[in-house]
Each structure stands twice: as C-alpha cells, then as structure tokens.
C-alpha cells in the first residue's frame, strides 16, 4: 500500500508540474563527443513537452567519470543516450529566468528506451553551453534541402541536422576536419526521409572522401 501511495503521489506531482509548465518531462538525449568535449542533442517530437530541438555542450560533475566518458566517446559512432531526471526544457532557453545549470542522469550505452545499458547511474551533468534551442512547428511542411550545423571546434566535429519539415528525421554525423576549418552550416539536397549520404556531406564540407566517419544517430519514428 505504501508503494502504491508513493507511486500515486509521484503521478500527481508530475501532473501538477506539467500543468504549471508544459515543457516538464523526461527529456532523453543522444550523447556524443570526445576528448575535446561532450555534447547532447534532445530527442525531439512534434508535441509537448518535447517539441524543441536543443543541443548542449556538457561536462560530468564527477571528474573521473567525465574523463572516462570522453575517452569512451572519442569521436566514435556508437550510440550513447542520456536518461535524465524530469525537468522543464524551457529552462535551457536563452534568457530563461531560472536557467538549468545541472541535472542528474543515467548515461546509457545504446538507446535508453530501446534496450540500452546504463554505464553510469545518477551522475551530475553540468550544462556548459546551449548551442541550439529551436521550437519545432507542428505544421506539415516539405523541405527540399537539409541544413546541418557543425558542433565542435577541433579536428573531431559533428553535424546535427536542423529539423525543419514534418515529417522529418533526426541525424547526427561524426566527421574529421582541419582544426582551423570554418564552422559554417552546410546545406545538401534532401531525399525525402532517407539518410543523407556521406558523399553529399563531404562535398558540401569540401573535405576528402572518408572524412565523414559515420552516423551517430538517425531516427524518424518520433518525427512523423
């Protein structure tokens, strides 16, 4: 009975929190990066509380875990996700009255809702910088091009596709760049909901064949 009562109290608390702020919820993220930094991209949908595309630069509050995570990521394309405690996503917006600086989360190898395995549990995650914060439009729209934003400033970089259509797909790609290369966004032709080929991205970036190392995350079921 005590367990049931606690569960019901938790549901009521969550419901009241959502009523007070419709961006409240568990905001899972894809995690990527390497020795130069850790990044996370919110896994968006076209409905509240997840109708925002958000990209963060993070660190782990425990310095030992921070170092281990950076080494394990290290530009690789194996999927990691973050399963955080519930929070209000709009606290990451530019100019938020109570900006979110830290939260607790499990760091998961694989997708946290699709059989992934937690590697580090209940660790403090520090928000170092908000790199993107965009609200998604629920309107049906078709775009003929895909725009990718560059994340990272050293030789190991990532491309994150802006979600600008409905339906659309979420896409994060790792690639190697010259350290001094510009970080301008790149635009490539879009072929419906098909994953953008590495060759098209390499041509837009003007980098040699093989510079695009592969896909970190590609998903479209949540963006129908």
What per-residue confidence (pLDDT) applies to 18? 47
Q: Where are the domains of the chain?
A: 22-223
What per-residue confidence (pLDDT) applies to 75? 86
What per-residue confidence (pLDDT) applies to 151? 96
Global pTM reads 0.90
Residues 49 and 186: beta-carbon distance below 8 Å: no
Q: Residue 4: is its pLDDT beyond 80?
A: no
Q: Residue 5: is its pLDDT beyond 50?
A: no
Helices and strands (H, E) in the chain, number of each type: 3, 13
Distance of CA 129 to the CA centre of its chain: 13
Burial of 58 (0-12, 13-18, 19+ CB in 10 A): buried
pLDDT digits (tens, 9 = 90+) for 79-106: 999 999 999 999 999 999 999 999 999 9
- CA-CA distance, 33 to 76, in Å (whole number)? 8
What per-residue confidence (pLDDT) applies to 20? 76
Residues 92 and 127: beta-carbon distance below 8 Å: yes
pLDDT digits (tens, 9 = 90+) for 18-32: 457 899 999 999 999
Distance of CA 23 to the CA centre of its chain: 16
Per-residue confidence band for 8, with pLDDT thresholds at 50, 70 and 90: very low
What per-residue confidence (pLDDT) applies to 22? 94
Per DSSP, the residues of 49-98 read TS-EEEEEEEEESSHHHHHHHHHHHTT--S-EEEEEPPEEGGGGSTT-SS
Give percent of the chain with pLDDT exceeding 70: 92
């Amino acid at each position: 009975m005590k367990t049931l009562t606690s569960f019901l109290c938790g549901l009521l608390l969550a419901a009241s929190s959502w009523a007070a702020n419709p961006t409240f919820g568990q905001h899972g993220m894809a995690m990527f990066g390497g020795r130069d930094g850790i990044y996370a991209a919110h896994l968006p949908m076209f409905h509240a509380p997840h109708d925002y595309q958000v990209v963060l630069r993070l660190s782990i509050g425990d310095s030992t875990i921070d170092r281990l995570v950076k080494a394990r990521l290290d530009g690789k394309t194996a999927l990691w996700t973050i399963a955080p405690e519930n929070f209000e996503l709009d606290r990451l917006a530019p100019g938020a009255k109570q900006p979110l600086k830290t939260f607790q989360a499990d760091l998961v190898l694989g997708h946290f809702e699709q059989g992934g395995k937690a590697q580090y549990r209940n660790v403090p995650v520090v928000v170092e910088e908000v790199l993107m914060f965009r609200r998604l439009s629920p309107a049906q729209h078709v775009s003929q091009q895909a725009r990718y934003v560059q994340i990272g400033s050293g030789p190991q970089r990532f491309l994150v596709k802006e979600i600008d259509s409905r339906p659309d797909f979420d896409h994060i790609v790792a690639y190697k760049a010259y350290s001094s290369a510009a970080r301008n966004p790149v635009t490539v032709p879009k072929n419906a909901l098909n994953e953008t080929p590495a060759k098209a991205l390499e041509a837009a970036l003007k980098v040699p064949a093989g510079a695009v190392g592969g896909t970190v995350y590609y998903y479209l079921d949540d963006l129908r």
